[in-house]
């Protein structure tokens, strides 16, 4: 029991807290994270928030988020969490400021993104795990060996606290989305939400060019390279019979690359050449920060990478002190914000953990699942992804409800799709590993139809 004098001492604090709540409303704590305006930002009507949520008080580990309300009627729109992959790459620097956030950095500040995903949803971008982007752990020993289980657990704790802070959104439809290594992050987080019976209104997940099954995903590269004319018939033969890419990757990671696999890798790299962007084989080579998450998965192409990009506007913008101040961001244990972490040591053996079966269990639990592929990506080619989804549908007894067909944006074919009830597969025509970056308009159509539970357009409907 506190004394009379102690009670009198805390009265001013109580009065202050109550006054703040009266001034800014019930959800006062979210107001502390409200962004007034970003430097050189176009004028907009929607609200933005950014800040930290502590997920471990003992180690002082905190995850950084950027939240953008929907342009119109945010109260009725779903909340969509976005996670970039790597593992170890930034959802703010890639997802928000390069792919589908409301603004894109330019030489004169920020420009409006006409195909921002906050046209359809309240977008929540999360830097995860700690050590990525602006997220941090004061106890730096945390960075020494981070794995999928730790990442899923911290992401769940983050969401629990975030929905408490933004309680006005706790009953909105909720979706998990991401790309690349988020093929691990997203299904594992969804599974943990269900297992712990956490009361989020989880409706579905969508993952783009995702790593789901090590052997199938990586070994589909050989056929993709060959079918696109990047390697010769003879190289294709030894790349499938003498040493495939999953063997190369596994041996390289363990430091046991055999002479035959080293020879195959050199031959493939030589024929492809170092002037081809592996995650968009149709584009001229360019390696700004939005590409870096793919290179965690493609470290084996021999030869120096050729960067013909003059500037990386996102990197420059997010390292400006006034920008970091506006974003309520800070650098803890690092001196520079990086697109992909320079301190995180992720357990790369986790790449071999299959997540494809998790998708089946999610569908059985009533969660809608969309797997999509930018069809110009050779990092995680659509060939492997499509075969995994087809195999999953057969194993779980999911009947085809929409046969393989083209889907449209306006009068143009935007990709192809096949649907098995609550499990869907779609390609995005002309898209790279980061599909919303290279095909923003088609990607927005894909998101819109998925959130609404509709079929992709069969003609010029949208």
Write out the catalytic residue numbers. 180, 377, 433
d(CA 12, CA 18): 10
Angle subtended at Cα 183 by Cα 258 and Cα 281, rounded to the nearest 5 degrees? 65
* Three-state secondary structure call for residue 451: helix
Q: What is the helix, strand, coil percentage profile of the chain, to 5?
A: 40, 20, 40
d(CA 172, CA 81): 12
- Exposed / middle / buried, residue 234 (Cβ in 10 Å: 0-12, 13-18, 19+): exposed
| Contact between residue 185 and residue 323 where contact means Cβ atoms under 8 Å apart | no
b/e map 190-222, b = 16+ CB within 10 Å: bbbbbeeeeebebbbbbbbbbbbbbbbbbbbbb
Q: What are phi and psi of 136, to 5 degrees?
A: -155, 165
| Contact between residue 339 and residue 178 where contact means Cβ atoms under 8 Å apart | no
Q: Position of tokens 């001196």?
A: 335
Strands 109-112 and 122-126: unpaired
């Amino acid at each position: 029991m506190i004394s009379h004098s102690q009670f009198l001492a805390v009265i001013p604090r109580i009065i202050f807290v109550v006054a703040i709540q009266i001034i800014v409303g019930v959800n006062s704590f979210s107001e502390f994270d409200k962004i007034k305006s970003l430097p050189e930002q176009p004028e907009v009507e929607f609200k933005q928030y950014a800040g930290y949520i502590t997920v471990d008080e003992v180690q002082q580990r905190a995850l950084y988020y950027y939240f953008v309300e929907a342009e119109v009627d945010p109260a009725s729109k779903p909340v969509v969490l976005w996670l970039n992959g790597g593992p170890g790459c930034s959802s703010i620097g890639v997802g928000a400021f390069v792919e589908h956030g409301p603004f894109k950095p330019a030489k004169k500040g920020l420009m409006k993104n006409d195909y921002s995903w906050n046209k359809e949803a309240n977008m929540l971008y999360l830097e995860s795990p700690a050590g990525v982007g602006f997220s941090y752990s004061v106890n730096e020993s945390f960075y020494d060996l981070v794995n999928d289980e730790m990442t899923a657990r911290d992401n769940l704790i983050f969401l629990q606290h975030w929905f408490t802070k933004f309680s006005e959104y706790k009953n909105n439809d909720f979706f998990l989305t991401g790309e690349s290594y988020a093929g691990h992050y997203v299904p594992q987080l969804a599974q943990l939400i269900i297992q712990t019976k956490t009361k989020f209104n989880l409706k579905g997940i969508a993952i783009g060019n995702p790593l789901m099954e090590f052997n199938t995903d990586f070994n589909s590269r050989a056929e993709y390279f060959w079918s696109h004319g990047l390697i010769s018939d003879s190289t294709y033969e030894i790349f499938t019979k003498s040493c495939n890419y999953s063997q190369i990757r596994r041996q390289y990671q363990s430091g046991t690359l055999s002479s035959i696999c080293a020879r195959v890798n050199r031959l493939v790299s030589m024929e492809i050449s170092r002037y081809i962007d592996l995650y968009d084989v149709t584009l001229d080579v360019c390696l700004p920060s939005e590409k870096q998450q793919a290179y965690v998965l493609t470290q084996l192409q021999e030869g120096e990478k050729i960067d013909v990009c003059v500037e990386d506007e996102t990197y420059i913008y997010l390292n400006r002190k006034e920008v970091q101040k506006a974003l309520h961001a800070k650098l803890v244990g690092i001196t520079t914000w990086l697109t992909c972490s320079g301190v995180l040591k992720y357990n790369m053996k986790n790449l071999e953990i299959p997540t494809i079966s998790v998708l089946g269990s999610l569908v059985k639990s009533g969660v809608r699942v969309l797997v999509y592929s930018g069809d110009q990506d050779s990092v995680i080619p659509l060939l492997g992804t499509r075969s995994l989804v087809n195999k999953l549908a057969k194993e779980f007894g999911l009947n085809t409800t929409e046969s393989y067909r083209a889907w449209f944006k306006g009068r143009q074919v935007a990709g192809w799709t096949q649907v098995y009830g609550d499990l869907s597969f779609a390609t995005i025509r002309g898209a790279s590993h980061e599909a919303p970056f290279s095909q923003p308009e088609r990607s927005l159509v894909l998101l819109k139809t998925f959130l609404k539970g509709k079929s992709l357009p069969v003609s010029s409907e949208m």
